[in-house]
């Protein structure tokens, strides 16, 4: 049988290395390890694939299947296929797990799930993956998953590239553009990030960043944009240049989804935190250079009474406090909210708060005192009092809440509420956040148009009277290619925005400009990608950004709103 741990390293290592752009300015040989990598590939090639029982994959098929799984499946089912938001995908079910093993489902059962998706939020992959890729995955999922090799400080430091030292960067902007209204736009499958001037709608640059970029975060000053992808690569973009440039990069793990910077007064732009999926750890880096400082594994006991020890305890969403020198890191499989004090980045003090499995995305309430995060596989929202480092409440909402960072609005009766949408059902839940009767309870529930779930994001703005909701993963094409807009005070549906002529795909991820009077929406997974810009007051389409460079855009992040946690 093929050496699976070795192949895992070679496949995902090659993805990251192939996407790296720019050369390091430090005096070091960035190709020093190349001969060793070549030897590993040659050694692997001598082994004739993977065979278990009646199932066989060639070397090439094994590598392709790992890449597909990493790209499409690992986020929900885990890097080692042990399950998280989605069920495990192991040949035989672990003891006590109600989900059947993949051998029991067989090729036909796996094909049905992959092609058609599930009501719980798994998208249908037919038409996105080829018939050949789907058939390949039915075989891959019935054999033992690959082993994740180590990746710690030594490996991380080896990947670090300081492309432009701090002393060589401009001290003031080389232009008179409004950086606050820049948009960073992720083109996930292309491994690129576009920087667009939100005032002029001009594309400033398209940069090669990393494979399957997940999010962008900005420095406390708003100068730097950091991207992080599913290949664990962090890319640091400097907006002070006439044309934004990559000034540093590092790889923090084989797989990841989150980064954040220090925002507390006195620590602005000083440290960056990285959340590893595979291996699962919290890494702290210098926010000016991305030089690694420390790594803390996140394995440990689960929050439940049985205290199961979990090795693959992935770091999901991360937010930075504005009131204390801490980050909130959500440990997905364990259901632990880790409050990480970065005053000593070499030996960070971590306070663990047991909550609910499996933690995913979340954001601040309007006061930026309380953090709310979805434990989406448990159908709950967890509320954390960050300054006092304690659990406030665990709230039942609906099937698989998926808020993104959520959004804060004020209802007609004066209640301030934080809003979440759901992957698994057609429901918006409104949680009261201000003091008084009903605080930390769901005070309203509203349905979007049509039936079924599939919503990924909700969005509003303090200057807006609207609440926008996408339905990206709904199986109905009429719903996944539209966005509902509600009156944020009355919660009445004002309009359903449908796809304009000449554009094709699914609508996803709304983002306001700095002024709160425009909403940008991505169109992806279709024949004609685009960015749609709407007037928030009239709900009229203002502009369509298209072109060969617009390749399946997903998340968009306005610099000012991201820096100041406005949502």
CB contact at 8 A, 340 and 348: yes
- pTM to 2 decimals? 0.84
Cα–Cα distance list, 347 to 259, 264, 300, 326, 330 (Å):
19, 18, 18, 13, 19
Question: Which of 101-115, 240-254, 264-278, 459-473 bottoms out in mean pLDDT, i.e. has the lowest?
Answer: 101-115
> Within a domain: residue 194?
no
Residue 330 within any structural domain of the chain: no
Q: Tell me how far CA of residue 62 lies from CA of 58, 70, 89, 148, 300, in angstroms.
A: 6, 12, 16, 15, 31
Contact assessment for residue 401 and residue 420, using Cβ atoms and an 8 Å cutoff = yes
182 lies in a domain? no
Q: What percent of the chain has pLDDT over 90?
A: 78
Pairwise CA distance, residues 460 & 511, whole Å: 8
- Number of domains making up the chain: 1
Let me know if residue 65 belongs to a domain. Answer: yes
Query: Does residue 114 lie in a domain region?
Result: yes
Local structure of residue 126 (DSSP, 8 states): B
Mean pLDDT of 449-457: 95
Distance between CA atoms of residues 537 and 491, nearest Å: 16
Structure tokens at 292: 């690694």
> Cα angle at 68 between 66 and 72, to 5 degrees?
125
pLDDT digits (tens, 9 = 90+) for 29-87: 322 333 333 333 333 343 578 999 999 999 999 989 988 887 788 877 877 888 877 88
Taking the C-alpha atoms of residue 226 and residue 113, their distance in angstroms, rounded to an integer, is 35
Structural domain includes residue 72 = yes
**295 close to 258: Cβ distance less than 8 angstroms:** no
Considering the domain boundaries, does residue 438 fall inside one? no
Confidence of residue 120 (pLDDT cuts 50, 70, 90): low
pLDDT at 148 over 90: no
Q: Is residue 163 part of a domain?
A: no
Which residue has tokens 């960050």? 386
- pLDDT tens-place string over residues 88-112: 999 998 887 888 999 999 999 999 9
Across 223-298, where does the E strand assignment appear? 224-229, 233-238, 245-251, 255-261, 271-278, 281-286, 292-297
| Residues 339-380 pLDDT 10s | 999 999 999 999 999 999 999 999 999 999 999 999 998 999
Whether 279 shows a pLDDT value over 90: the answer reads yes
Catalytic residues: 73, 76-77, 122, 360, 402
| Domain carrying residue 17 | 4-140
Mean pLDDT of 153-176: 98
Q: What is the pLDDT of residue 215?
A: 96
CATH number, domain of 113, equals 1.10.760.10
Per-chain mean pLDDT for the chain: 90
Q: How many residues does the chain have?
A: 567
| Closest by CA position to 324, among listed 382, 266, 393 | 266
* Distances, alpha carbon 351 to alpha carbons 78, 271, 342, 402, in Å: 25, 19, 12, 25
**N- to C-terminal Cα separation, the chain:** 50
Structure confidence by residue, pLDDT tens digits, 320-347: 999 999 999 999 999 999 999 999 999 9
């Amino acid at each position: 049988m093929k050496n699976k741990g070795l192949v895992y390293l070679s496949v995902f290592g090659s993805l990251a290395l192939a996407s790296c752009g720019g050369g390091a300015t430090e005096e070091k040989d960035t190709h020093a390890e190349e001969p060793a990598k070549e030897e590993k590939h040659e050694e692997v090639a001598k082994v004739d694939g993977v065979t278990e029982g009646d199932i066989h994959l060639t070397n090439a098929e094994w590598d392709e299947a790992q890449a597909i799984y990493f790209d499409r499946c690992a986020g929900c089912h885990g890097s080692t296929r042990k399950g998280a938001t989605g069920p495990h995908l192991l040949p035989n079910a672990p003891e006590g797990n109600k989900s059947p093993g993949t051998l029991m489902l067989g090729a036909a059962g796996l094909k049905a799930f992959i092609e058609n998706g599930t009501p719980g939020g798994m998208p249908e992959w037919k038409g996105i993956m080829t018939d050949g890729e789907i058939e390949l995955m039915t075989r891959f999922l019935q054999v033992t998953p690959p082993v994740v090799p180590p990746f710690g400080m030594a490996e991380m430091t080896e990947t670090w590239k300081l492309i432009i030292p701090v002393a060589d960067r401009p001290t003031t902007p080389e232009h008179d553009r409004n950086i606050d209204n820049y948009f960073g736009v992720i083109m996930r499958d292309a491994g690129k990030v576009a920087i667009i001037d939100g005032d002029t709608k001009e594309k400033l640059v398209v940069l090669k960043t990393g494979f399957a970029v997940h999010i962008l975060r900005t420095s406390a000053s708003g100068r730097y944009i950091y991207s992080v992808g599913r290949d664990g690569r962090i890319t640091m973009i400097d907006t002070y240049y006439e044309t934004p440039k990559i000034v540093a990069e590092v790889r923090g793990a084989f797989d990841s989804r989150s980064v954040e910077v220090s925002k507390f007064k006195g620590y602005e732009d000083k440290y960056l935190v990285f959340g590893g999926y595979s291996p699962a750890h919290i890494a702290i880096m210098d926010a000016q250079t991305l030089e690694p400082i420390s790594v803390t594994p996140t394995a440990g006991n689960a929050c439940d009474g049985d205290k199961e020890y979990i090795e693959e305890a992935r770091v999901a969403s991360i937010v930075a406090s504005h009131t204390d020198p801490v980050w909130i890191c959500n440990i997905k499989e364990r259901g632990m909210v880790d409050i990480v004090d970065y005053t000593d980045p070499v030996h960070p003090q971590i306070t663990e708060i047991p909550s609910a499995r499996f933690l995913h995305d979340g954001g601040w309430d309007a006061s930026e005192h309380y953090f709310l995060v979805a434990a989406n596989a448990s159908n709950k929202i967890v509320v954390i009092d960050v300054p006092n480092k304690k659990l406030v409440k665990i709230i039942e909402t609906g099937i698989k809440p998926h808020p993104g960072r959520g959004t804060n609005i004020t209802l007609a009766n004066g209640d301030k509420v934080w809003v979440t949408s759901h992957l698994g059902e057609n429901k918006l839940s409104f949680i009261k956040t201000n003091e008084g009767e009903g605080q930390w309870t769901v005070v309203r529930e509203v349905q979007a148009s049509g039936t079924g779930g599939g919503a990924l994001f909700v969005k509003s703005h303090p200057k807006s009277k609207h609440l926008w909701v996408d339905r990206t993963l709904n199986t109905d094409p009429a719903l996944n290619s539209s966005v509902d807009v509600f009156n944020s005070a009355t919660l009445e549906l004002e309009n359903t925005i449908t796809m304009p002529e000449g554009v094709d795909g699914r609508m996803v991820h709304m983002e306001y400009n700095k002024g709160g009077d425009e909403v940008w929406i991505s169109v992806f997974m279709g024949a004609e990608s685009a960015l749609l810009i709407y007037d928030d007051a009239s709900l009229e389409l203002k502009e369509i950004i298209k072109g060969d460079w617009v390749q399946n855009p997903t998340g968009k992040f306005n610099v000012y709103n991201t820096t100041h946690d406005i949502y």
